[in-house]
Amino acid sequence: MKVIEGGVCAAKGFSANGVHCGIRRNQSKRDLALIYSACPASAAAVYTTNLVKGAPLLVTARHLADGKAQAVVCNSGNANTCNAGGEEVAEEMCRLLGHELGIRAEDVVVASTGVIGQPLDLSPIAHGIPSLVKGLSPQGGKFAAEGIMTTDTALKEIAVEFTLGGKLCRMGGIAKGSGMIHPNMATMLVFITTDAAISATMLEKALRSDIRDTFNMVSVDGDTSTNDMVAVLANGLAGNDEITAETPDFAEFMRALNTVNLFLCRAIAADGEGATKLLECEVAGARDKFVARTVAKSVICSNLLKAAMFGADANWGRVLCAIGYSGADVDVGKIDVAFRSCKGEITVCRNGAGCAFSEETAKDILSQKEISILVDLHDGAETSRAWGCDLTYDYVKINGDYRS
Q: What is the pLDDT of residue 49?
A: 73
The Cα 170–Cα 11 span in angstroms is 5
* CA-derived radius of gyration, the chain: 22
Domains and CATH numbers, the chain: 2-270 (3.60.70.12), 278-400 (3.10.20.340)
Residue-wise pLDDT tens digits, 321-357 = 999 999 999 999 999 999 999 999 999 999 999 999 9
The Cα 56–Cα 110 span in angstroms is 6
392 among known catalytic residues: no
The Cα 42–Cα 39 span in angstroms is 10
Residue-wise pLDDT tens digits, 23-76 = 988 888 999 999 999 999 999 999 877 777 889 999 999 999 999 999 999 999
Cβ distance 114 to 78 under 8 Å? Answer: yes
The Cα 326–Cα 25 span in angstroms is 42
Q: If you ran DSSP here, which 8-state letter would residue 39 be given?
A: E
Q: Among residues 187, 194, 224, 294, which one is catalytic?
A: 187
Please report, as a single letter, which amino acid is at residue 175.
A
Q: If you ran DSSP here, which 8-state letter would residue 302 be given?
A: -
Please report, as a single letter, which amino acid is at residue 378.
H
Least confident of 82-91, 145-154, 221-230, 264-273: 221-230
Q: What is the pLDDT of residue 203?
A: 98
Greater pLDDT, 274 or 242: 242
The Cα 126–Cα 79 span in angstroms is 17
Helix axes 55-63, 86-101, angle to 10 degrees: 50
Average the pLDDT over 154-159 and give the result: 95
Average the pLDDT over 233-262 and give the result: 98
Q: What is the pLDDT of residue 187?
A: 60
Question: For 325-402, where are the alpha helices, taking DSSP H only?
Answer: 359-366, 393-400
Cβ distance 401 to 234 under 8 Å? Answer: no
Q: If you ran DSSP here, which 8-state letter would residue 312 be given?
A: T
Q: Which residues pair with 338 in a beta bridge?
A: 347, 374
DSSP result, 36-98? EEEEEEEEEEEE---SS--HHHHHHHHHGGGSEEEEEEEEEEE---S-TTHHHHHHHHHHHHH
Strands 68-78 and 32-47: antiparallel
Greater pLDDT, 391 or 95: 95
- Place 271 in a pLDDT band, splitting at 50, 70 and 90: confident
What is the model's pTM?
0.91
Residue 144 confidence (pLDDT) above 50: yes
Mapped onto helix, strand or coil, the DSSP state of residue 398 is: helix
Secondary element (H or E) of residue 60: helix 55-63
Cβ distance 324 to 332 under 8 Å? Answer: yes
Mapped onto helix, strand or coil, the DSSP state of residue 258 is: helix
The Cα 293–Cα 330 span in angstroms is 12
Please report, as a single letter, which amino acid is at residue 318.
R
Least confident of 125-134, 222-231, 319-328, 390-399: 222-231
